[in-house]
Amino acid sequence: MKEGVVVKATGSVYTVRTSEKELIPCRLKGKMRLEDQKSTSPVVVGDNVLFEYEADAETGVIAEVLPRKNHIVRKSTNLSKQSHVLAANMDQAILLATINYPVTSTVFIDRFLVSAEAYSIPVVIVFNKVDRYKKGDLELLSELMEIYTKIGYRCEAISALNDADIEKLKSIVKDKVSLVAGHSGVGKSTLVNSLEPSVNLKTAEISSAHKTGIHTTTFAEMHPFSFGGYIIDTPGIRGFGLVDTGKEELYHYFREIFAASEGCQFHNCTHIHEPDCAVKAAVEEGEISESRYNSYLSIYFNKDEKYR
C-alpha cells in the first residue's frame, strides 16, 4: 500500500499525488469501507489515502481514507440529509468575498466562519475586486473590515489583478495548504492564477444580467505553489453547511457572542428572549455588531435560505 494526497476528485476518478510528486489516477475500491455513509463525497480533495497500483503501474485503487483533521461542508441544494464535503485537511481557509460583483452577504460570511470555527480552521477574509468598488461599496467594505478585525479575524482588501496585493497574499499562503472558498464569480480561480500563473485555470465574467457568477469551476482541485505550499480552488457555492451540533451550541462558534455569554444570567441562555442577557446588552451598546447578531438569529432559526 502506498500513501498519497487526493488533489482532484471528479466523482469517478481521483487523482492522487505521491510523495515523489507523481500524479496517479485512481478509482475507489468496490467494497471500500465508508465510515460516513451520510456523505455523498466519501473521498475529497485533501484526503490522505492508501492506494495500490493496478497491474499497469500507472493507475491505482484507493483502499482506505485516513482520518481527517478537519473539513468544510457545502450546503445541500436539495432537502436530503446528505452532506457534501468541499475539501479536507487544510491549514487555513481563505474566504474570498466581494462587496459587489457579485454581492456577498454578511450571513454567508458568518455561516462560513461558524463552519470553520467548529474545527478551529484559521480563516483569512479576503475582500476582492476593490478596483471596481464605488464610494458606497468602499464604505461598506471598511465597515465590514472593522467588524471582523475587531472579532479577531485577519482581513485583507485586494484586487486579484494588482501585483502588490498578490505579493501580500503570497506571504499568507506560503508553505501552507489553503482552501479558497466563496460565491461563484468572486475571483477564486483568478486569484490562484495570479499567485501561480502556470496553473492557468479557466475563469469567466459574471453574468451581466444577474451580477452573479456562472459556475466556471466545477471540481475542487489542489495546486502546488512554486514558492511553497498548496492551494485548493473550489467551485462557487451558495452556502456552507454546519457541523452536526445542536442549536444550543451555535453561539459557541460566534467568538464574540461566546465571550459575552459569560455574563448572562442563565447558563443555558439562547440570547434571544431571556432577561439579563449579556449578549443582547452588548448588541445594544454596539459592542457586538447588529449584523453578526442578526446572522446568529438567521442561522438559529434557519432563515438564511433566502440569501442563497
Shortest Cβ 213–ligand GTP spacing (Å): 4
Intra-chain end-to-end CA distance of the chain, in Å: 43
Strand partners, 295: none
Count of helices and strands (H, E) across the chain: 7, 13
Least distance (Å) from ligand GTP to the CB of residue 219? 10
Helix 290-300, helix 135-151: angle, nearest 10: 80
- φ, ψ for residue 109, nearest 5 deg: -60, -45
Which of 43, 93, 269, 299 is in the footprint of Zn ion by CB under 5 A? Answer: 269
Closest approach, Cβ 211 to ligand GTP, in A, equals 11
269 among the known binding-site residues? yes
Q: 65: Cβ–Cβ under 8 A, 6 or more apart, which residues?
A: 32, 35, 42, 43, 47, 48, 49
Amino acid sitting at position 163: D
> Is 187 part of any known ligand binding site?
yes
Compute the radius of gyration of the chain from its Cα atoms: 20
How near is the Cβ of 214 to ligand GTP at its closest, in Å?
A: 6
Query: Residue 145 or residue 161: which is nearer to ligand GTP going by CB?
Result: 161
Of positions 70, 89, 184, 261, contacts ligand GTP by CB under 6 A: 184
Q: Which of residues 221-280 bind Mg ion (CB under 5 A)?
A: none
The sign of the dihedral angle between the CA atoms of 150, 154, 155, 156 is positive
Q: Is 84 annotated as a binding residue?
A: no
Count, residues near ligand GTP per rule CB under 6 A: 24
Using CB distances below 5 to 8 A depending on partner kind, what does residue 205 bind out of ligand GTP, Mg ion, Zn ion, none?
ligand GTP
Does residue 128 interact with Mg ion by CB under 5 A?
A: no
Q: Which of residues 171-190 bind Mg ion (CB under 5 A)?
A: 188-189
203-222 residues in contact with Mg ion (CB under 5 A) are 216-217
**Other beta carbons within 10 Å of 54:** 14
The amino acid present at 283, given as its one-letter code, is V
Q: Position of cell 447578531?
A: 293
Site for Zn ion in 277-306 (CB under 5 A): 277, 279
Q: Which residues bind Zn ion (CB under 5 A)?
A: 264, 269, 271, 277, 279
* Residues flagged as binding site for Zn(2+): 264, 269, 271, 277
